[in-house]
């Protein structure tokens, strides 16, 4: 999904009563919200990055680093988009690990990344 499309997906999915959380490759998750003038990405400590709605290029650059989007259903937060899966429409096939829900595809991608790291480590130790 292109950054513009992901940003539009965030805008469409947001409601004041049900927050959207975004995850980046590195760092804490951030709650996404907006008002009539700006969009915000706020961490749990209250710090946030904000952009005026007219700062499209800066927003697109920022959202291009998102790897996962979650939304609350009942008392649990579930992924609604991941970089590995795209938009998730089937909310029946998740695996809960350490309090966080993952799709099977996400878990397979994590295992693939672990295998890559193992190969890299073997190469480094041989050099």
pTM: 0.83
> Distances from the Cα of 125 to the Cαs of 112, 115, 120, 122, in angstroms?
20, 15, 9, 5
The 10s digit of each residue's pLDDT in 59-71 is: 999 999 999 999 9
The 10s digit of each residue's pLDDT in 12-36 is: 988 888 889 999 988 889 999 999 9
Give the chain as a 3 state SS string. CCHHHHHHHHHHHCECCECEEEEECCCCCEEEEECCCEEEEECCCCCEEEEECCCHHHHHHHHCCEEEEEEEECCEEEEEEECCCEECCCCCCEEEECCEEEEHHHHHHHHHHHHHHHHHHHHHHHC
Q: Which residues pair with 33 in a beta bridge?
A: 40
How far apart are alpha carbons 84 and 60 in whole angstroms? Answer: 19
């Amino acid at each position: 999904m292109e950054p513009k499309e992901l940003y539009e997906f965030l805008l469409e999915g947001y409601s004041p009563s049900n927050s959207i959380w975004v995850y980046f490759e590195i760092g804490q998750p951030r709650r996404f919200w907006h008002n009539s003038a700006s969009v915000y990405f706020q961490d749990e400590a209250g710090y946030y990055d904000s952009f005026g709605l007219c700062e499209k290029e800066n927003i697109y650059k920022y959202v291009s680093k998102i790897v996962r989007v979650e939304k609350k259903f009942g008392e649990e937060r579930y992924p609604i988009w991941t970089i590995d899966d795209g938009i998730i429409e089937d909310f029946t096939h998740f695996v809960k690990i350490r309090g966080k829900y993952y799709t099977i595809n996400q878990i397979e991608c994590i295992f693939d990344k672990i295998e890559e790291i193992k190969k890299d480590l073997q190469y480094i130790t041989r050099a």
